[in-house]
A and B are shown apart, each in its own frame.
Chain A
Amino acid sequence: MKFAGLLVMPAGFFLTVAALVLFSDTERRAAFVFCGLAVVCLGLVVAVRGHMTERGARA
């Protein structure tokens, strides 16, 4: 689960880069960048949850 979260994080980064390449108008670019950042944060949350689950299983 932790590794799944860590894999999702680069996906969010590539979404922000895609926003720069694909859109030229400010609104859509900003929306996509926010979405990309949200995906990065989602990946981080999943990784943290995965770490806690691992620790709980070990204890």
Chain B
Amino acid sequence: MNTLPPMVPATGPAMSDAVFALTLALLLVCPLAPAGVALINAGLGRSRSTAQALLGNLALVAVAAVAFLFVGAAIAGTLPGAHAGAGFTFFAGGKPWNWLGAGSFLLRGLESANPTTQLQLLFEFLAVAMVVLIPWGSGADRLRLAGGCLTAAVLAGFVFPLAAHWVWNGGWLGQLGANFSLGAGFLDAGGAGTVHLLGGLSALAVVWVAGPRRGKFPKEGLSTAMPGHNAVYVLFGCLLALVGWLAWNAAGAILWLHAPLAELPQTAINTLLAASGALMTTFSVTRFRFGKPDASLCANGWMAGLVTSCACAARVSPIAALFIGGVAGVFTPLLVELLELALSVDDPSGAITVHGAAGLWGLVAVGIFSAAQGQLIAQLVGIAALLGLMLPLVYLLFTLLNRAVPFRADADGERIGMDLHELGGGAYPEFVIHRDESYR
């Protein structure tokens, strides 16, 4: 194996002014997706931590944007660097393996870059905002702002850019089709793997490192139920997320698959169908199991359907999208229950299931429903890379960070709530905070 200088990436077809304007407009609607996730995170947490949760969402997005500007964008390699290169490549088995981006530092040359590259970079800034919000929801009610910001910096500065380069910017996963005749290479136009699976795995790492909320798993008996404090936030967040997701998947299809405009309506319809299928099956499963449908689990199902659509919306038929979402809706409530009751994983937002497991299923489903030979193998190789490398890497990084800056608040902070502990004031000052019996 020999290391070669950076190689120039293959570029897509030129973009007309009309397509540029449409894609830019879609990208400007995309922030509704992370906004919906932020509302869901806040609603599924406790009332005494709401202000801290929502401020944390803003702080994490800010830290992530800065970290991506200073470090991540260069690693992702979207904007060609000084040597007009897209990354560092070695040869193994007679094939090039582009494993690390070598993009422009501090976005130099952005104004003169081609329109597609500019929009791809904007997409990545929005994607990085989504990635960092996912583990924040899982660490609700005990994760400190400092800890959350550190996780955001690491994810946005190093981990996400590596995955984004591999999948989107001419990296080895995206080139599996050209180099190994595996379909069209690893397909992930909406970020089911790069954003959601990665975010879900980071959520698992955060939960492992920070531990469960105090009183969640008593020494004897079942786990304590700690329901979300505001179903309105959660369900409205789902509607908000739908709007963002429709734009997100359409923009992803244009930018990464170079889809013609005529395919965009079907992409949007598939997004809606995947979410609808998931909601209907989750509704049925929770109705069957508990006698009545569960609002927060139905919200989780809806979001899981949207996450699966990230991988498949631009590539499958409407019926297939409905089926893929429906399957996600079946396993979501069951896996949420399994994680909490059997595996002692305290994940208030359900992000490990909603983003991690549903993202993984979406990636597999694209391979199953694709007619291209070798597409399923390409998807499985991508999943092995994200699961097999990124989870250990993220867990190791978070464990080291936790030693330097403890992620979770002390017992007193958790008892009085993260709002009072970290901000000095609550989100609902007129509410009476009841004594929590689980701390006695």
Contact = CB atoms under 8 A, between A and B. Distances in A.
Interface of A: 2, 6-7, 9-13, 16-17, 20-22, 26, 29-30, 33-34, 36-37, 40, 43-44, 48, 51-52, 55, 59
B395 A6 contact: yes
A52 B344 contact: yes
Given A9-B388, A26-B374, A16 B380 contact: yes
Contacts of A10: 388-389, 392
Interface residues of B, number: 25
Interface of B: 92-93, 95, 176, 180, 208, 217, 219, 343-344, 373-374, 377, 380-381, 383-385, 387-389, 391-392, 395-396
- Sorted from nearest, which 8 A-B pairs have the closest CB atoms? A13-B388, A21-B93, A40-B388, A6-B392, A16-B384, A9-B388, A13-B384, A12-B388
Contacts of B344: 51-52, 55
Contacts of B176: 20
A22 B93 CA distance: 7
Given A29-B377, A36-B384, A37-B383, A20 B93 contact: yes
6 contacts: A9-B391, A17-B381, A22-B93, A33-B377, A33-B381, A44-B391
A4 B377 CA distance: 27
Interface of A is mostly: helix
A30 B396 CA distance: 30
B105 to A, nearest CB: 29
B391 A6 contact: yes
Nearest to A2: B208
Nearest to A20: B180
A33 B374 CA distance: 11
Contacts of B385: 13, 16
B384 A12 contact: yes
A20 B381 CA distance: 9
Contact of A21 (B92, B377, B380, B387): B92
